[in-house]
Amino acid sequence: MLFVIVTAQEHIQIIILGFSGMFDYIWGQVVEIDDESVVVEVSGLGYQLYISKATAKMLNLGNTVKLYTYLHVRENEIKLFGFYDKNERRVFRSLISVSGIGPKVALNILSKYTPTEILTFIATDDVKSMTSIPGVGKKTAQRIIVELKDRVDKEDLISSVSSFGEATSEVVQALMALGFNKSEIAKVVDKIEGLEIDDAIKMALKELSG
């Protein structure tokens, strides 16, 4: 394993390089947190990770947390990004692979919409929803959809819906029986998770009919 010490902006950053996978996750105590970043202490070292607002909402000061990581390295910039789950990290990686999309815009997208919703927008050419995100204009939204649509595994969309609890799965089946497709259902499934079946169906129908 190779240790590389890099100085940048009067700070010393220690990056541990080894195999191509780099860091997969970090596990430690949350010692600082705001809407844009979190500091996780591990063995006396504090690691600053940039996060989406969605991930920030899942964290509490003083709690032990496991965040999946992505190390972003550019000529004059080294940043570590953290994600509450692997799906969020996977969508982040896909977004920054699009020409003109950097980590900041990718986090803005993940701060407003869930990974499931983003995959749905791409699969259904939903430019309108994408342009509601700060920093994403019509041309940028179209570029994201064009560059990622062929790379979005349709099974990801199916599994993201079917991975919810048993009650939600029953609601999904009921909605499909009423003629809604998986792409439409994926847009509202996060809002009905945890509700009783009857209430979930009513909520879903209200959202889908609106």
Quick one: pLDDT at residue 202? 85
Rounded Cα–Cα distance for residues 150 and 131 (Å): 20
Q: How far is CA 119 from CA 18, 59, 75, in A?
A: 32, 24, 31
Whether the CA torsion 75, 80, 82, 87 is positive or negative: it is: positive
CATH code: domain 157-209 is 1.10.8
Contact 110, 92 (CB under 8 A): yes
Query: Which residue positions in the chain have pLDDT lower than 50?
Result: 1-21
CATH 2.40.50.140 for domain 2-83: yes
Quick one: pLDDT at residue 156? 58
Quick one: pLDDT at residue 12? 39
The angle that helices 138-149 and 115-123 make with each other, rounded to 10 degrees, is 90
Quick one: pLDDT at residue 22? 61
Could you give the residue range(s) of every CATH 1.10.150.20 domain in the chain? 86-152
Quick one: pLDDT at residue 117? 83
Quick one: pLDDT at residue 154? 54
pTM of the entire structure? 0.70
Which residue is it, tokens 């950053």? Answer: 13
Quick one: pLDDT at residue 208? 86
Long-range contacts of 32-37 (CB under 8 A, 24+ apart): 32/61, 33/59, 33/61
Could you give the residue range(s) of every CATH 2.40.50.140 domain in the chain? 2-83
CATH superfamily of 86-152: 5' to 3' exonuclease, C-terminal subdomain (1.10.150.20)
Quick one: pLDDT at residue 130? 92
**Residue 167 amino acid letter:** A
Contact 82, 26 (CB under 8 A): yes
